[in-house]
């Protein structure tokens, strides 16, 4: 196997196994135990844990902090690097620090705007965009230089990821934009929540027609809806999430005390459906504030047992 | 929240119409490029300082009216469907973020159409630069902010990238 990093996710994907990643709920706390508690419920059922970078522009413990704790305890974190909060100097420095701490996988994202978060008065940075960031990370790894051209004495060995949202306009550009990300260095992709299956199938069809499924591993984003109210909030308030009307009706029809179970059932159905789609190499489970449910979802979707961490 | 109480069509009459004719604009771009390349060296011979000031001012006024130009000093309009990417609140240069609303409007400014949705549609009407939207744009050189991209183009400054790019 031709590996560019020590990333467990890279090994899983390149060996042809169906990968599972999950998102860690970064705590509003300075206590490391809060990170470990949240990671524990995910670690047994997934191949790598995403440490979010102030998701939704809400301030939580940083991705760097979570990753530092997770690597210390032997977990396999994915460092999420957003362009919203840091300029190019900070980002490249953080990447070196992360590599030194044993982070093997990075995910390059643009980041939700500050206006969505708990501190909308903040200055937005966006010095890089996600594609420029991808290329800079790849250059650091492959050529061993910073953007300025200054040489690194040890190159960071990263498995590099990016995100894509097939559910946001302009729909016909999204597959080609994915191609641009691949060209800039993306090796795996985590998508936004897949609720609109026809749209996702259309997207994947085009991705396969372009031959991109051979160049990049695509992990479909999934997650349980907590309730009808929660679904409405996600559709209307969380940027880039689209939930089709049939699913909304299905949640609305369900009695209130059974909505969480219905949301979970929908999530499992989604996993089973995306597994059948050509070019899908795994799933990325985002269960915000419902992390305890992830193990059950992955189990019921038939994705267990996963190989223990030590076996890679 | 909105950026300005004046809709673009009122702030810059005719500009919206112009941008929706990208095929005309790409011809105009090619023409003005060759005119500037011929005249700018002459202007510089008269007075480099005045020549530069003339370029900055005319760019501010003309491109300001037509594209709401933000004077980044490294124009890529022909690669972005003649739609200025610096109008994107996130300053993205390589395409839309994942937050574009279902109706095609901006995540940050709900009343504004997404710059990149417009850029994509317009780029597809172009003939010469139709595929340039797929070219990866280098990180913005922030030190060129406020300078003339026309002058920078002739000096080759606008396409100079850091050594590690």
3-class DSSP string for A84-128:
CCCCHHHHHHHHHHHHHCCCCEEEEECCCCHHHCCCCCCCCCCCC
Of the residues A88, A110, A244, A248, the best mutation for testing chain B's interface (the one with the most B CB atoms within 10 Å of its CB) is: A110
From the list A225, A215, A173, the residue with the least C-alpha distance to A194 is A225
pLDDT value for A306: 74
Reading the block at residue A6, the tokens are 């020590």
Mean pLDDT computed over A196-200: 97
Reading the block at residue B133, the tokens are 């939207």
> Is it the case that residue A312 has pLDDT exceeding 60?
no
Cβ distance of A242 and B102 shorter than 8 Å? yes
What values do phi and psi take at A24, rounded to 5? Answer: -85, 135
Share of chain B above pLDDT 70, in %: 94
Mean pLDDT computed over A201-212: 98
Question: CB within 8 A of A74, min separation 6: which ones?
Answer: A309
Measured between CB atoms, does A123 come within 8 Å of chain B? no
pLDDT value for A161: 98
Beta bridge partners of A190: A163, A219
> Is it the case that residue B6 has pLDDT exceeding 80?
no
- A42-56, A78-92, B11-25, B135-149: the lowest-pLDDT one: B11-25
pLDDT value for A106: 98
Mean pLDDT computed over A245-269: 97
Indicate the domain borders of chain A: 8-311
User: CA of A141, closest CA in chain B: separation in Å?
Assistant: 12
Cβ distance of B98 and A135 shorter than 8 Å? no
User: CA of A240, closest CA in chain B: separation in Å?
Assistant: 4
Reading the block at residue B32, the tokens are 């003005």
Say whether the peptide bond before residue A301 is cis (omega within 30 degrees of 0): no
pLDDT value for B4: 54
Measured between CB atoms, does B164 come within 8 Å of chain A? yes
Contact residues, B window 121-150, toward A, CB-based 8 Å cutoff: 121, 134, 136-140, 142
Q: Per-residue confidence at A140, pLDDT binned at 50, 70, 90?
A: very high
pLDDT tens readout for residues A163-190: 999 999 999 999 999 999 999 999 999 9
CA–CA dist A263, A255 (Å, integer): 12
For domain A8-311, the question of CATH label 3.40.800.10 is answered with: no
pLDDT tens readout for residues B63-115: 999 999 999 999 999 999 999 999 999 999 999 999 999 999 999 999 999 99
- Chain B positions touching A173 (Cβ under 8 A) are 95-96, 116, 120
Contact residues, B window 30-89, toward A, CB-based 8 Å cutoff: 89
The ipTM is 0.94
Q: Residues A288, A23: contact at Cβ < 8 Å?
A: yes
> Is it the case that residue B34 has pLDDT exceeding 60?
yes
Indicate the domain borders of chain B: 14-155
Most distant CA pair in chain B: distance in Å? 54
CA–CA dist A20, A304 (Å, integer): 10
- Residue whose entry in the numeric block shows the structure tokens 């790894």: A141
Q: Per-residue confidence at B2, pLDDT binned at 50, 70, 90?
A: very low
Cβ distance of A149 and B163 shorter than 8 Å? yes
- Chain B positions touching A176 (Cβ under 8 A) are 134
pLDDT value for A61: 98
Cβ distance of A132 and B94 shorter than 8 Å? yes
- Chain B positions touching A169 (Cβ under 8 A) are 96, 100-102, 104, 114, 117
Reading the block at residue B43, the tokens are 């202007």
> Is it the case that residue A10 has pLDDT exceeding 70?
yes
DSSP-derived secondary structure letter, A278? T
CA–CA dist A123, A117 (Å, integer): 12
Chain mean pLDDT for chain B: 92
What residue spans of chain A are helical by DSSP H?
A: 8-14, 32-43, 63-72, 88-100, 130-142, 174-184, 197-209, 228-237, 245-253, 259-275, 294-300
Q: Per-residue confidence at B1, pLDDT binned at 50, 70, 90?
A: very low
């Amino acid at each position: 196997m031709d590996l560019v990093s020590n990333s467990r996710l890279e090994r899983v994907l390149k060996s042809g196994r169906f990968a599972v990643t999950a998102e860690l709920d970064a705590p509003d706390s300075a206590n490391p135990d809060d990170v470990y508690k949240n990671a524990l419920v995910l670690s047994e059922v997934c191949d790598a844990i995403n440490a979010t970078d102030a998701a939704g522009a809400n301030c939580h413990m940083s991705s760097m902090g979570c990753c530092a704790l997770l690597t210390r305890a032997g977990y396999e974190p994915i460092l999420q690097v957003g362009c919203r909060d840091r300029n190019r100097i900070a980002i490249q420095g953080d990447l070196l620090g992360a590599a030194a701490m044993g982070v093997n996988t990075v995910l390059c994202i643009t980041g939700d705007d500050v206006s969505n978060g708990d501190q909308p008065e903040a200055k937005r940075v966006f010095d890089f965009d996600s594609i420029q960031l991808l290329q800079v990370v790849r250059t650091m790894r492959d050529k061993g230089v910073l953007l300025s051209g200054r040489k690194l004495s040890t190159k960071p060995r990263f498995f590099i990821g990016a995100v894509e949202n097939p559910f946001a306009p302009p729909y016909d550009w999204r597959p080609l934009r994915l191609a641009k990300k691949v060209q800039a260095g993306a090796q795996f992709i985590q998508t936004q929540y897949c609720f609109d299956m026809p749209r996702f199938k259309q997207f994947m069809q085009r991705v396969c027609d372009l031959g991109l499924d051979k160049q990049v591993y695509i992990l479909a984003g999934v997650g349980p809806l907590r309730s009808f109210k929660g679904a409405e909030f996600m559709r209307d308030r969380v940027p880039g999430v689209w939930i089709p009307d049939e699913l909304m009706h299905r949640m609305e029809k369900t009695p209130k005390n059974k909505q969480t179970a219905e949301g979970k059932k929908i999530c499992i159905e989604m996993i089973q459906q995306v597994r059948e789609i050509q070019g899908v190499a795994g799933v990325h489970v985002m269960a915000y504030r419902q992390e305890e449910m992830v193990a059950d979802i992955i189990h019921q979707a038939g994705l267990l047992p996963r190989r223990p961490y030590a076996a890679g | 929240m909105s950026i300005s109480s004046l809709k673009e069509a009122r702030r810059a009459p005719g500009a919206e119409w112009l941008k929706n004719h990208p095929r005309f604009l790409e011809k105009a771009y090619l023409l003005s490029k060759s005119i500037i390349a011929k005249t700018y060296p002459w202007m510089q011979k008269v007075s480099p300082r005045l020549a530069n000031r003339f370029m900055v001012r005319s760019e501010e006024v003309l491109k300001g009216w037509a594209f709401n130009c933000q004077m980044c000093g490294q124009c890529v309009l022909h690669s972005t469907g003649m739609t200025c990417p610096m109008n994107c609140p996130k300053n993205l240069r390589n395409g839309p973020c994942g937050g574009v609303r279902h109706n095609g409007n901006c995540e940050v400014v709900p009343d504004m159409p997404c710059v990149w949705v417009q850029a994509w549609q317009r780029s597809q009407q172009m003939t010469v630069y139709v595929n340039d939207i797929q070219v990866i744009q280098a990180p913005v050189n922030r030190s060129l902010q406020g300078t003339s991209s026309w002058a920078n183009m002739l000096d080759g400054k606008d396409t100079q990238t850091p050594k590690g790019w």
